[in-house]
Amino acid sequence: MNKITMPKESLIKTANPLILTINGGSSSIKFALFEAGDPLKRILEGTIERIGLSNATFRVKSSNQADNFSRLIAAPDHTAAVGVLMDWIEQHSGLDTLTAVGHRVVHGGPKYSKPQRITSEMVEELQRLSPFDPEHLPEEILLTGAFHRRFPDLHQVACFDTAFHHNLPRVARLLPIPRRYEEQGVRRYGFHGLSYAFLMGELARLAGKESAQGRIILAHLGNGASLAAVHDGKSIDTSMSFTPAAGVPMSTRSGDIDPGLLWYLARTEKMSAKQFNKMVNFQSGLLGVSETSSDMHDLLELEKQDDRAAEAVALFCYQIKKCIGAFAAALGGLDTIVFAGGIGENAPIVRARICDGLEFLGIELKEKRNVANAGVISATTSRVAIRVIHTDEELMIARSVCHALGLGMANEKRKFENATK
């Protein structure tokens, strides 16, 4: 990789600077563009999806309807996909004041706990950490390098998804394996941190600072799903662990399973570690149990006539319910539950099934509010407030960039601090 040199400080003083956020996944790139005002203003957002397949799609949605489009592109890998994105950036006349790029970096390892400018030293450290998360980190490193080569004067900032959980209590982050592995950085890290930080900021805004200091369970339920137990504004436990494959079942990830299964499959099916990793990350979860779809919406439509779909949905809800019970014990009680993510925000029946039977914890849903996807879906008699909050990782990345670069904007700085303190 070319050595990364720091851009000139004067660049961040550009009038109406623009911030591009990049959220790279294993087969997609999500991005958004913000004007760095106070507050931040989202100008457009887009995705490059199905990277590696013949029908990869590039979409942009803007407040200016004339800029909206969706088209098929050739994107056999992330290098080609980001090339298409950078070509579009160069050709778009409205992006001449692009000042910084904020990257969601899934794994920060034991070292990185705050958004930071990307340097050559950081890239070397992230390359060393790649075995921690081989599904995401190599592509994310590739994206930062591609942007530096094409736009060397742009500030680039890494925003770590593990940062929210960086200071987990020792008892929560220790893994019950030989101690020598802890010295290598093997511990519980937790993920979805950008989402959780945003949700905590929104909870403080909507319910007040006192509520945000209470005993809270955040449930980010989407293609990737995890829960976090938060007290006094700090993460005290989370369902994902050393990798994002742990915890509750997800769209294609297994969540927690018996580690002895690897040895069993190695003996009975000659399964390699690589094959096992592929199975638990891409062939399990909702897809593996249903054998039809990894999409919750599809499974809810199929469950009445397909027992496998019904079992996949039931297992998802059951495991999340168990996790809520465990985290309520870790918190010593419960004041608030927040549902977020594609499933958490848009699937009332899933929320209802998760909460059913948890009345002993003081959890009571109001059916009409739940069906309407209202902001507060708990009954007036519920001892626990149950909320649905739309998460926004891209906005959290943009705020993190402003913080890391020392851009002004007092209101946005306050929002960042409220979400990450």
Spell out the domains of the chain, with CATH numbers in brackets. 9-160 (3.30.420.40), 208-388 (3.30.420.40)
For the ranges 64-73, 203-212, 301-310, 401-410, which has the lowest average pLDDT? 401-410
What does the pLDDT read at residue 408? 63
Of the candidates 133, 161, 237, 392, the residue annotated as catalytic is 161
Establish whether 161 is a catalytic residue. Answer: yes
**What's the CA angle centered on 329, arms 320 and 373, to 5 degrees?**
40
What does the pLDDT read at residue 15? 59
| Pairing of the two strands 234-238 and 215-221 | unpaired
H helix runs in 184-284, sequence order:
193-207, 209-212, 260-269, 273-282
Place of tokens 């900021």: 201
pTM of the model: 0.91
Q: Which residue has the higher pLDDT, 255 or 24?
A: 255
**What's the CA angle centered on 388, arms 386 and 394, to 5 degrees?**
140
Q: What are phi and psi of 164, to 5 degrees?
A: -60, -30
Q: Does residue 412 surpass a pLDDT of 80?
A: no
Tens digits of residue pLDDT in 88-138: 888 875 667 788 999 999 999 999 999 999 999 999 999 999 999 888 888
What does the pLDDT read at residue 2? 45
Average pLDDT of the chain? 91
DSSP string, 22-33: EEE-SS-EEEEE
Q: Does residue 171 surpass a pLDDT of 80?
A: yes
